[in-house]
Structure 1
Amino acid sequence: MRPRAVTIGLALAGLLASGTTLAGERPAAVETCLGCHAIKGYKNAYPTYHVPKLGGQHAQYIVDALRAYANGERPHSTMHANAVTLSEEEMQAIAKWFEEQGE
C-alpha cells in the first residue's frame, strides 16, 4: 500500500473513532437532544415550562448554555446530566448542527 493512502486511511479512522462528524452529518450526541428539543410545543411535566426548539439557534449560545449546565451555573438536573458528559468538541458539533437546521 502506498504511504499516502495509509496516511489518509489513518486520518479517516481517527475522525471516526473520535466521534467527529463531517459537514452536514448529525452528531450522535444530538439524538439525546432531539428527544425534547425537537418536539413542537413540548412542555416539561414538572415543573411545567416550555422546552425551547434549538433549530436555527446561534451555535455560540448553545455552546455557552451547555457549558453553563455542565458546570452548574444554569440549574437543571436533566440538562446538567447530559451536558456534563459532553466534550468541548461534542458541544461545538451539536451547536453547529442545530444552528444549520433553521426554524
Structure 2
Amino acid sequence: MLMLGLVAAFAAFSANAKGDADAGKKKFYTCTGCHGIAGYRNAYPDYPVPKLAGQNEGYIVNAMNAYKAGERKHPTMRAQAESLSEQDIADIAAFLSQAK
C-alpha cells in the first residue's frame, strides 16, 4: 500500500510544474543558512537540519508540499513552504537534485 502511495506521489509530481535548476539555485539562497551547513542545528536543538544537495527531486517536492499543508511539523519549514509557489518548489527541487 505504501509503495502504491509513493508511485502516485511521484506520478503527481511529474504531471506538475517542471523545475528549472538555474532558477532554483537563486531561490535556494534563503535555505542555505540552515541546509548548507553540515551538522547545523538551528533554534530547535533536537532537530538536525538535513543537507539536501543530491536529494531526489520528487522527495523534495513532496516534503515541501507536506510542510505547506501542515502534514510535516516544523514551524520554520512550514512558514518557508507557505511562501513558495508550486513553481518555486519545483525549481528548488530541480536545483537540489543536481547539486553536490
Q: In which range does the TM-score fall when normalised by the shorter chain? A: 0.7 to 0.9
Higher helix share goes to which structure? 2
Within 5 Å, give how 1:22-37 maps onto structure 2.
Answer: 24=22, 26-37=24-35
Structure 2 gaps, min length 5: 1-18
Q: Report the CA distance shift for 1:40/1:73 in structure 2 as closer, same or farther (over 3 A).
A: same
Aligned equivalents of 1:51 and 1:23: distance in 2? 22
Bigger Rg over Cα: 1
TM-score calculated relative to the size of structure 2: 0.73
1:67 maps to 65
Q: Select 1:91's aligned residue among 85, 89, 92.
A: 89
Which of residues 70, 74, 77 in structure 1 aligns to 2:75?
A: 77
Map 1:10-49 onto structure 2 (within 5 A). 24=22, 26-49=24-47
Cα gap change, 1:31/1:79 in structure 2, threshold over 3 Å: closer, same or farther?
A: same
Identity of aligned residues (%): 48
In structure 1, the gaps of 5 or more residues are 1-20
Cα 1:56–1:86 change in 2 (3 A) is same
Tell me, yes or no, if the aligned pair for 2:25 and 2:95 is still in contact at 8 Å: yes
CA RMSD of superposed structures (Å): 1.9
Corresponding position of 1:58: 56
Is 2:68–2:79's contact at 8 Å kept on the other side of the alignment?
yes
